[in-house]
Copies of this chain bind each other. A is one copy, B any other.
Amino acid sequence: MQSDLQSRLFDAVDAAFDQQVAFLSDLTAFPSTRGQEQAAQDFMARALTTRGYELDRWQIDVAEIQHLPGFSPVLGPYEDAVNVVGTRRSKTKTGRSLILNGHIDVVPEGPLDMWDSPPYEPRVEGGWLYGRGGGDMKAGLASNLFAMDALAACGLAPAADVFYQSVVEEECTGNGALACLARGYTADAALIPEPFSEKLVTAQLGVLWFQVHLKGRPTHVAYAGSGANAIEAAIPLIKALHEMEHRWNAAENRPDDYAHMEHALNLNVAKIKGGDWTSSVPAWAVFDVRMAIFPGQSIEAAKTEIEEVILDAARENDFLRNSLPEIVYHGFEAEGYALSQDSSERARSAIDALGDAHQAATGADLKKAAITATTDARFFGLYADTPALVYGPRAEAIHGFNERVELESMRRVTKATASFIARWCGTEEI
């Protein structure tokens, strides 16, 4: 790549950076939690249309994706699950096509009093933008968009089709990214700027979500016998699940990417609800669990073991023995994915191009990391034979309070992305 073009691209990112921060701030102001993404998707659609992208906006139809590998079960309505894709078609089509993917959904903000300032009133302080979703991953959506803008500002377009995706459902199923695949969007590579501190993600875990429903026949607390309490009956099940977590993390079960991690697989007892009245022994409780699995670990085998662990523990409990828990799957049934295992020439070439772009933008070598979360990368990598590069800015407290993203990091990632697009797709005159 010509160093002249490189510096013109970087200058263009710098020139538009205030605009980009304003865009990120506007986007972060939308409380786009699951089911509430539409206004934020309107905003994205306008941003793409204004820039001349060909717009595709559609409601996800579960019937069209539920038979596909990678589908995760859905609880509740899907009327609000709307994807937005903007396409920039190349005139010459001499280069390699690219998907720039990001998700618009954010996780709930939790108790407001835990935030130093309101989660949907983004503020910039000390070089960071604070707000729910600012890091995970609206800065990435901004980076993808303004990287493309930088090319345009230089009078250039990618010399291959580029598909800009703003998807829903990344935080619970991945069905937004899956719906893009089902609609026919494929390319030679995908880039997903999830906030992993400018490192290239070489492996990600799979994730399973499940609910455990406990029920029984208790009565007035005056007659409470020990153990006949649906809430307390959850405790030995949680203990047994943590023992399973410990086994799964054992050294002999770790693939190479995770060999160095003592505890990559986290089991999270995430939500709980039970009981109706303080002087009634609780007859029911439900708790929600997130459990990770390694790349290569079978979802079906994991589910079978989870069920065995729960039911075995229940059979040891007087209360549960006669009223075994019900296990309901909802949300993530996500396999792990390791870019490191993709030995194709395409993957090698894409990684090299990103490495060079990162070097150019930051002056440092591209670091690589295996992460303990999942991302939508698995759909491209596992089900569409497309190398998926997860590479985005530095953020903190994602899913927590006072979530924030470092603005200079977003700037570097935007530059690296612009450079990567030019390297991967090549360029043509507008």
The answer on a CB contact under 8 Å between A270 and B281 is yes
Q: How many angstroms from the CA of A316 to the CA of B288 in the assembled complex? A: 26
> When the two chains form the complex, which single residue of B231, B290, B292 contacts A272, counting CB atoms closer than 8 Å?
B231
Query: A108 contacts which chain B residues (CB < 8 A)?
Result: 276-277, 280
How many monomers of this protein are in the complex? 2
Q: How many angstroms from the CA of A398 to the CA of B172 in the assembled complex? A: 40
A329 smallest CB distance to B (angstroms): 11
Quick check: is A430 within 8 A (CB to CB) of the other chain? no
Q: How many residues in A have their beta carbons less than 8 Å from beta carbons of B?
A: 60
Per-residue 0/1 for A260-291: is the Cβ within 8 Å of any B Cβ (1 yes, 0 no)?
Answer: 00000010111111111111111111011110
Given contact pairs A222-B371, A371-B222, A279 touches B270 in the complex (Cβ within 8 A): yes
Quick check: is A238 within 8 A (CB to CB) of the other chain? yes
Interface locus among A55-63, A180-188, A213-221: A213-221
A-B pairs with beta carbons under 8 Å apart, 23 shown: A107-B280, A110-B276, A110-B283, A114-B217, A218-B400, A219-B398, A220-B373, A220-B399, A221-B266, A221-B290, A222-B373, A224-B266, A229-B269, A231-B272, A268-B279, A270-B282, A271-B278, A272-B272, A278-B288, A278-B289, A280-B399, A281-B400, A283-B400
Query: Closest 3 interchain pairs by CB?
Result: A219-B400, A271-B275, A222-B373
> A interface vs B, CB < 8 Å?
107-111, 114, 136, 171-172, 205, 207, 209, 215, 217-224, 229, 231-232, 235, 238, 266, 268-285, 287-290, 292, 331-332, 371-373, 397-401
Known: A222-B266, A277-B399. 17 other contacts (CB 8 A): A107-B277, A107-B280, A109-B276, A110-B283, A114-B215, A217-B400, A219-B397, A219-B399, A221-B268, A222-B372, A223-B372, A229-B268, A231-B270, A231-B272, A272-B285, A278-B289, A279-B399
